[in-house]
Amino acid sequence: MRQSFRPAWWLPGPHAQTVWPYVFRPLRSVPLQRERLELPDGDFIDLDWSTQSRHPGLVLVIHGLEGSSQSAYVQRLLRQLERHGLQAVVMHFRGCSGEPNRLQRGYHAGDTADIDYVARQLLLRFPQRPLAAIGYSLGANALLKWLGETGRANPLRGGVAVSVPFELHAAADRLETGFSRIYQHSLLRSLRRTVTRKHALRGFPDPRAELAAARDMRGFDDRFTAPMHGFRDANDYYAQSSCRQWLPKIARKTLIVHAADDPFLNRNVIPTAHELPNNVELLLTEQGGHVGFASGRIPGLARDWLGAYAAHWLAHHLKG
């Protein structure tokens, strides 16, 4: 493990780093072209494609909880990939592209079937193009779990996972403490809005009473995420969906970028070196927050270290 990230001195602590990407969004959005991909179960997901393609490689981008192609961290990555001439395709989880999905089920942190389906569809279309993927937060957990589940049969050239909730039960507990409850409040507000809109549009039962009873992430997962996706309860969902148990089975070249001060997860849940196979590198920084990692000496002029580092790593491993 090594550290090459130097945090901006004027963004001290994990919360400043975490909030920075949302306050200082890129001024220019990367142009994207949307494609609707029909799924075997009758549902759909939307893919957003960048137009850049000087490099033969293709990068599958997997956002975090309630994210999308317009999330600040995704837009920053797309700009960095653009500089390397890499084309990207952002896979939206079901219901995250601006239109509710058709089925009552949605998505969750261990939802690897859709990632597998999208990746294999891309390779069927472009068999000569090397494919890599990058996932953030919830998407990072799903990506690492999928890499472990598929082992040597995985179709990727490599993968990057950023700010990973390695053990979901521990992440739920962490969001119940201190300032991290602010993030929980924001996520729950977005989830409630998403569920309410979807149920009204699709004619599903009124969820407002259940939503009112779900006062934290564990409560929401217990009442919605778990039963909608075949789990007994939140504990069963967390146990089956956490990626940490799958890390030793990853066979593809993989980079994990994580900050020890991540306010979504306590330090003692970060995997140790003996848990990781030789092909998995953990770049553990002391600072960086959750999907933050902003550097720079001049106040207000932060450098996107995370996007630049990830794009460079992906371009390097997609050569040939």
- Residue 274: the pLDDT is 87
Instruction: Find the mean pLDDT for residues 2-25.
Output: 84
Mark whether 182 and 149 lie in a shared domain: no
- Residue 47: the pLDDT is 98
Mark whether 120 and 82 lie in a shared domain: yes
Domain boundary residue, one of 241, 259, 276:
241
Catalytic, 262? Answer yes
Domain boundary residue, one of 188, 223, 241:
241
Mark whether 195 and 232 lie in a shared domain: yes
Does the residue 284 lie in any domain?
yes
Mark whether 197 and 251 lie in a shared domain: no
Q: What is the pLDDT of residues 179-193, one digit of tens each?
A: 999 999 999 999 999
Domain span holding position 216: 168-241
Mark whether 59 and 191 lie in a shared domain: no
Mark whether 23 and 88 lie in a shared domain: yes
Mark whether 20 and 87 lie in a shared domain: yes
Does the residue 2 lie in any domain?
no
63, 108, 290, 317: the active-site residue: 290
71, 137, 163, 295: the active-site residue: 137
Instruction: Find the mean pLDDT for residues 103-120.
Output: 98
Mark whether 278 and 230 lie in a shared domain: no
Mark whether 23 and 94 lie in a shared domain: yes
Place of tokens 């919605």: 224
Does the residue 8 lie in any domain?
no
- Does residue 3 surpass a pLDDT of 60? no
Catalytic, 290? Answer yes
63, 262, 295, 317: the active-site residue: 262
| Number of domains observed in the structure of the chain | 2
Q: What is the pLDDT of residues 237-287, one digit of tens each?
A: 999 999 999 999 999 999 999 999 999 999 999 999 889 999 999 999 999
Does 319 or 193 have the greater pLDDT score? 193
- Does residue 1 surpass a pLDDT of 50? no
Mark whether 68 and 146 lie in a shared domain: yes
Mark whether 258 and 307 lie in a shared domain: yes
Question: What does pLDDT average to over the chain?
Answer: 94
Mark whether 295 and 261 lie in a shared domain: yes
Does the residue 111 lie in any domain?
yes
